[in-house]
């Protein structure tokens, strides 16, 4: 894992956007795996700015999002489909038909998981997966204890995740308790991974990621088995950590 330490959120967002833009320019048909949450918002903003200023095109890009809340339709303001439309897709020239997010309001969510996993495979897999990290080490919505062999599946959200994500909802009771998420093995199959880490609240998770064991008890530790991971981390999330490789 290669770590790039940056001074603040703005620099993280800029570096991440530059990284993504370079990959899109190298391969205009790239398959991007995308994440939600507060961490990548600044990166998406920079992608939009670059699109407006330099015209980097996403016309032939395909995207797969990591996860979606169960029970929310794409029109719901708290759905990840809505988030992606508002934070990125509505502002660039991507073909929305090529942007995929699991359908959280599917009648049969188990069936939806199978469909989503095979959609990724049919498209040749993800080339570059953008990831954030939960303070309990979750990636996507893969909570501690999720099997490393997991594919896209239904997950029960950890109480700490519900609490952390409640800031986006009116009331904590409105936060869905379940989600569809790409599995750990789905994420690990992507050719390259870019992990973004912002804020001091992620420091403990970073310490565990960098210095702890590889264990299903800490989902992000699976990334240590991936050959091509780049981490762009704010100083506040990694400063002072003794890193053992
Ligand atoms: N499912 C998302 C993850 O994909 C995200 O990486 C993580 C951190 O969120 P944030 O970036 O807001 O800290 O939690 C959310 O629950």
What is the residue with the minimal CA distance to atom 14 of ligand 1?
134
CA distance 60 to 66: 20
Would the CB of 66 count as within 6 Å of ligand 1? yes
Task: Out of 117, 127, 143, 234, pick the active-site residue.
Answer: 143
Terminal-to-terminal C-alpha distance of the chain: 9
Is 65 part of the annotated catalytic residue set? Answer: no
Looking from the CA of residue 165, the nearest atom of ligand 1 is 16
- 113 Cα to the center of ligand 1, angstroms: 20
Q: Is 178 left (phi over 0), alpha (psi -120 to 50) or beta?
A: beta
User: What is the model's pLDDT at position 242?
Assistant: 67
Domain boundaries, the chain: 2-200+214-238
* Token digits of residue 53: 């200023």
Q: Note down pLDDT in tens along the chain; length 245 residues.
A: 999 999 999 999 999 999 999 999 999 999 999 999 999 999 999 999 999 999 999 999 999 999 999 999 999 999 999 999 999 999 999 999 999 999 999 999 999 999 999 999 999 999 999 999 999 999 999 999 999 999 999 999 999 999 999 999 999 999 999 999 999 999 999 999 999 999 999 999 999 999 999 999 999 999 999 999 999 999 999 988 866 55
Rounded (5°) CA angle 198-231-20: 95
Q: How far is the CA of 67 from the centre of ligand 1 (A)?
A: 10
- Tell me, what's the pLDDT at 243? 65
Q: Is CATH 3.40.50.1360 what the domain over 2-200+214-238 is classified as, yes or no?
A: yes
Nearest protein Cα to ligand 1, atom 7: 134
Please indicate whether residue 36, judged by its CB atom, sits closer than 6 Å to ligand 1. Answer: yes
* Residue 2: predicted pLDDT: 94
Backbone phi, psi, residue 193, to 5°: -130, 135
Is the pTM above the cut of 0.90? yes
Structure ipTM over 0.85, yes or no = yes
Ligand 1 mutation target, pool 39, 130, 142, most atoms within 8 A of CB? 39
> What integer pLDDT is reported at residue 23 of this predicted model?
98
- Sheet with 128-131, side-by-side order of all strands: 2-6, 229-234, 192-197, 128-131, 31-34, 62-65, 99-100
Q: With beta carbons less than 8 A apart as the criterion, state whether 243 and 206 touch.
A: no
C-alpha–C-alpha distance, residues 128 and 131, integer Å? 10
């Amino acid at each position: 894992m290669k770590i790039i330490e940056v001074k603040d959120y703005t620099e993280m967002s800029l570096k991440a956007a530059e990284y993504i833009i370079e990959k899109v320019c190298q391969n205009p048909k790239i398959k991007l795996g995308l994440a939600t949450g507060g961490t990548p918002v600044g990166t998406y903003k920079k992608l939009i700015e670059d699109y407006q200023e330099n015209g980097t095109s996403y016309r032939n890009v395909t995207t797969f999002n990591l996860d979606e809340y169960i029970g929310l339709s794409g029109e719901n303001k708290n759905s990840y489909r809505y988030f992606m439309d508002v934070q990125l897709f509505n502002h660039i020239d991507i073909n929305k038909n090529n942007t995929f997010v699991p359908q959280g309001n599917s009648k049969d969510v188990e069936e939806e998981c199978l469909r989503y996993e095979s959609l990724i495979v049919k498209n040749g897999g993800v080339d570059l997966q953008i990831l954030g990290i939960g303070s309990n080490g979750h990636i996507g919505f893969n909570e501690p204890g999720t099997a490393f062999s997991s594919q896209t599946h239904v997950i029960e959200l950890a109480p700490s995740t519900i609490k952390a994500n409640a800031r986006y909802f009116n009331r904590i009771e409105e936060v869905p308790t379940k989600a569809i998420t790409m599995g750990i093995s789905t994420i690990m199959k992507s050719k390259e991974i870019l992990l973004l880490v912002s804020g001091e609240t992620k420091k403990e998770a970073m310490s565990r990621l960098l210095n702890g064991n590889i264990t299903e008890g800490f989902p992000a530790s699976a990334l240590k088995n991936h050959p091509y991971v780049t981490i762009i981390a704010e100083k506040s999330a990694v400063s002072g950590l003794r890193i053992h490789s």
